[in-house]
Structure 1
Amino acid sequence: MISRIAQERSHLELSTIYEVCRILGDSLDIQRTFRAALNTLAAQLGLTRAMIVLADADPEGDEGRLTVHSAVGLSREQVERGHWTEGEGVIGRVYESGLPVVVTNVQDSAEFIDRTGAFGPQEGKRLAFIVMPLRTDQITLGVLAAQREVEGMARLSDDQRLLTMVATLLAQSLALHRSVAAEHARLQLETTRLQKALSQEAPRRRYSLDNVVGHSKTMQRVFAEVHQAAPSRSTVLLRGESGTGKEEIARAIHYLSPRKEAPFIKVNCAALTESLLESELFGHEKGAFTGAVGERKGRFELAHGGTLFLDEVGDISPGFQAKLLRVLQEREFERVGGSRPVKVDVRLICATNRDLERMVQRGEYRADLYYRINVVSIFLPPLRERRDDIPPLVAHFLDRYNKENHRHLKVTPEAMQVLSNCYWPGNVRELQNCIERTATMVHGEAIRDLAFPCKSNRCLTQTLHHMEKEDAVAPVSSTITVNKVQRPDGSSIPVDSRRAPAAAGHGDAFFDDEDDEDTVVRIGPTERLTDASVLPPRQFGAEPPQGERERLIWAMEQCGWVQAKAARLLKVTPRQLGYALQKHRIEVRKL
């Protein structure tokens, strides 16, 4: 009989521990799990009442107090009355000492203090009060208190052993909860701090005009225009040469506008064909074309509520110009392969380095689209027109290079003078490339003037100085001065004497004395022809004609029909010249 009762008790304790473990492992919400664990104890052990009392800070002083956290068998009013100080009554003494206490009959205990009014003695009943400390890592976090009616063969020692195990599980769960809560609070504070820093500093540092280096008067005018245009929703057209920072200005406009919290989406129109550009901007439906395995939102939809930046908008095809015009007029479009109109609220910022006015005149660009995108025009000056910004730009790029590569490079005054005198046809992008290339290859911690490739006539971009041409062999936009060079037979030939100014070129390395002696007209077959009668008859005089075919023939005549020399005279590559000769079906004469 005793063995069967022991087995039943052992099975009861095991199932109780299992249920409590399962409940505590389901969630970190101790308010819910502790109450569920108390309900399990009450049901399995036949407890009339049970409660978990935790230490809490006294709001009126430094002395700690104990309050009821979770309870079973107590009313709300009784729970609210449950307050003890450390060392007060059985609850306070167990918390203070960390040792369990079993009161076999609350009616006979002078130390028992019932603040709740629920655990007091009852007439005709023997009520025991068992209190277990919740301890972990030698720290008492609270107490577990339970009351049962003692009758029959009930053994309080069995209840004490089981409640000791349950108290240990509750203490571990409470410690884990507090650890997770503390870490969560720390992460929330860190997140709040970072969000505040990002909202106040990061946009200003990364995207606002404070980070667009521009101390010159021309850039200050650009900044003023950006501040004026940013708050509105008008379409902005950014004009300027390649590399002047149009995308950074577009970002600044977005982050200075009321749409700064919405997306900023950018698209390079020149990098995509017409069909790809349509799918990229408008999206496509499933099955719209081969490979369209699913529905895809376009950039217009992704930028809804925000800003869409169309770079190189002057390079889109005439067919796509009409589609883009409709979107700008109606503010709606249809996906590729779809028929349902999609409405969007997007602010458009466009950028181009093309002469749109001339393209409109030639019929290459739609006039109605031009008027749609050219609402607010902001012209970004080339770097050569704001040389005051070169030193701070160099300092900015070099500082970033030093941080990324853990170096301590500095620029000498002589090197800064070289950089300030360069022409920079690639503008800020070329300056950044030059700084990074030179900083990578330089020896030591100082960048001197001789470290730049242009000082040894090895500049990679000097051929870009005169590339503003209408066609492959058109003369550059700058004024051409034609000088006369005497031939051995007494006749004269024209020589293009145009030079990049000293303040606009890469120092003297571009046009030194050695280059002057190596012009296209001073070497070649024509220098060996002393008899003018041997030369073939010329169609043109000394002045370059206007037509492309005529200029080709003129250049070939001046250079004795040597294509390499003619290409140098026209400031084009030999390959470009060869294509132009084939295009106009000009037969190269053999002398």
Structure 2
Amino acid sequence: MPAMSRGTSPEVALIGVYEISKILTAPRRLEVTLANVVNILSSMLQMRHGMICILDGEGDPDMVATTGWTPEMAGQIRARVPQKAIDQIVATQTPLVVQDMSADPLFEGHEDLFGSPDNATVSFIGVPIKAETQVMGTLSIDRVWDGTARFRFDEDVRFLSMVANLVGQTVRLHKLVASDRDRLIAQTHRLEKALKEEKTGPDKDPADTGAAAGPSMGIVGDSPLVKRLIATAQVVARSNSTVLLRGESGTGKELFARAIHELSPRKSKPFVKVNCAALPEAVLESELFGHEKGAFTGALSMRQGRFELAHGGTLFLDEIGEISPSFQAKLLRVLQEGEFERVGGNRTLKVDVRLVCATNKNLEEAVSKGEFRADLYYRIHVVPLILPPLRERPGDIPKLAKNFLDRFNKENKLDMMLSAPAIDVLRRCYFPGNVRELENCVRRTATLAHDHVITPHDFACDSGQCLSAMLWKGSAPRPTLPVPPAAPTALTPLSPVPLSPAPLAAAGPALAVADALPVTCPGTEACPAVPPRQSEKEQLLQAMERSGWVQAKAARLLNLSPRQIGYALRKHGIDIKRF
């Protein structure tokens, strides 16, 4: 577009507004967007320099974009802003036109920026950038006036005012988005802090938090598996070693992560948690590492990441097996060196963080498929703790159910109770969702119960409306508990050894899980449509009978190796029939 020597014509103004509106709606950093606006103006107006200056709350330049702007020169440009001229435009909220800048005291000290090498007269046009009635900054240009042409400044002022209005609305929208985001983050941190204080307050009754298994741990259960896990967690907590919590969904991995923090020397420092599966990669990087001001659209202020917030304390990365391979490389450097850079920054930061990770994914299989980096696997797989599913500790179900009912009573100011037959029903249920599903079942039943004493007829399975029965009807779920391979491979020489082994693990992990898998629903005797589950021995005998007592065939039926079948037969004292 040729430069106009006699002001801005209506046609040029219309095209300019159209081109600038396209730039303002593009998803870029705000500083880059504003610099592109200035570049468009330089192609449409006869001008030497252009400048957009966005002010902070104190009226000082917060963001400055000029013709040919680059991130490297941003600091130098901000120091050379003609502050007196900017202040006058902001104070009067009206355009400012100066025919000869060298003779005006507003530009004293800026001759090197606005001076002309051939001593020609340089003029200045500046307009306020407004959003409603608030002045957010200024838009200005300067041009050489040789005294022969008479520039129609009024047309240029009108055109620049239209552009400034568009810029003002864009800046206002960016600030609103950033403000809402910061407000939500701050609110989340306040709620997490209040919840933590409520759980660990001095006046809190340990029974209300379910801390029956240890002080301030909030873990309910007295089965040997749980006691062994708690004892291991107490030992692990004394060191700074990375812990990997493995187990099915709903087994309480976050609860154990918090318990490890509370039992560690870092308990007075922050406990910060992040669900890696809940955030896309770009957002996850900003959440963990933080970002600098202007790093991306909406980043109007510097923000610390979760690694910085957890400095001196513990960082809990839940669902770590779901992060992308590209982000795994970025995370590996932080774990190895303890240093990183914020998004959009170049200053290296060092942190002291104790890392606790959790996953229900088979990481060994993911490593063998190339979905998870082997070096990151060994970095986080320092101290593995395998949390048992609820079906392997049925003795804890009554205590857990009473604990959940007590919380329900306290929240709703009720006095409901579980009858002995009702507890027996819960004890015989499968609960594929583990502790989380048990809590759901207790709350739902307490909400719909007809009396203050819950009986077996109050449960959904009594009327054929069991949610788990509907969920698993017709198909058995695949186990989510991480299962080490039967024989070590090149990628998995350090297969995880459960520090709290399950009772059935000795017969082979797959068989142990298969023993508890429901056929049609997780039912109980109160659910008459469902036959009772087979024991491990019965399932093994059935497979051997179907295979004609050929161990290799039986292994294929149970998805086991022949070695595991032989071990299970010896364990249960089953003699091999010879034909």
Q: TM-score, normalised by structure 1?
A: 0.48
Query: What is the TM-score when the length of structure 2 is the normalising length?
Result: 0.48
Larger Rg: 1
Q: Higher relative contact order by CA 8 Å / sep ≥ 6: 1 or 2?
A: 2
